[in-house]
Structures are given as C-alpha cells and as structure tokens.
Amino acid sequence: MRPRSGLDRGDGRRQGTGDRVSADLLQRTGTRDSTVLHRLLPEEKRRGHKELTIPPRAGPARARLPSTQGLTRRFGDFTAVDHVTLSIERGEIFGFLGSNGCGKSTTMKMLTGLLPPTEGTATLFGSSVEAAASRSARTSAT
C-alpha cells in the first residue's frame, strides 16, 4: 500500500486544487475556505502554525508598472493573445501560468516592446511600450 498524501483521494486519483476547493475536501476537513490545505497536513506539521494576515495596502494610488488594456496579438487568422487587460502595481508579485501555446511569451514580448500588439495598449511606468521600443530601436541604430 502506498502512503497517502494530503490530496490523495485514497482511490489512486488525486484531488484537484485551484481557485475552487472541492466540496468533498471542505466537508472532510470542516472548513469553508482555502485553509483546507492546512487542515490536510498531519497534526505534527500543523503544530505552532500562525495564520498570516496581509493587510490591504494603504495610501495614494500607486504607479502601474505594466498595464494593458485590450492587448491582442494575431498571427494571420490565429489569435495568440485575446484582449488581455491587467494592471500590476509596485510591490505586487505577478506570474503567468498556463499551458504551452496559451500566449504567455507573446504577452511578455508585447509588454517588453519586442512585438507590437495587433490591438490594445501596453504601458510601462505610464509610457507606451510601443513608443519606448521605437525610441530604443532608434537609439541602438545610431
């Protein structure tokens, strides 16, 4: 018999995790939210646990480091990135997760000015990424 991990259903299949925790896990652990994963740990690993509370950031509006509005990139009939709108503030940690071919690298290339968008806008520190890329290209050409 193989050892059961906290997310092992006991029938050889793994219990999925993600934005929505399954009703089965919530019922088994008597929780109503993502603390379910903590409850699945063995008691000795849970001992001494203190809940981390991250207060909301206060203060004036922060600079939007990268920001996009309707960012889209098409290659012929293929749409690689479809109307992405995002805004990341100073101090935020942000990551792109997704399967191969879902547009992560294409989005980053547009955010860095290596690839122009078909539609939409991208700004970095309030300046248009396309304009910054054009200035950089002119400067490196001289």
pLDDT, tens digit (0-9, with 9 covering 90-100), for 62-79:
666 888 999 999 999 999
Question: Position 133: which residue type?
Answer: A
Nearest Cα to Cα of residue 116 among 57, 87, 78, 75: 75
DSSP letter for each residue of 123-137:
EETTEEHHHHHHHHH
Global pTM exceeds 0.75? no
Distance CA(49)–CA(93), nearest Å, equals 24
Predicted confidence band at 51 (pLDDT cuts at 50, 70, 90)?
confident
Tens of pLDDT, residues 70-125: 999 999 999 999 999 998 887 788 888 888 989 999 999 999 889 999 999 999 88
Average pLDDT value for residue range 22-40:
74
Measured between alpha carbons, how far is 126 from 9 in angstroms, rounded to an integer? 48
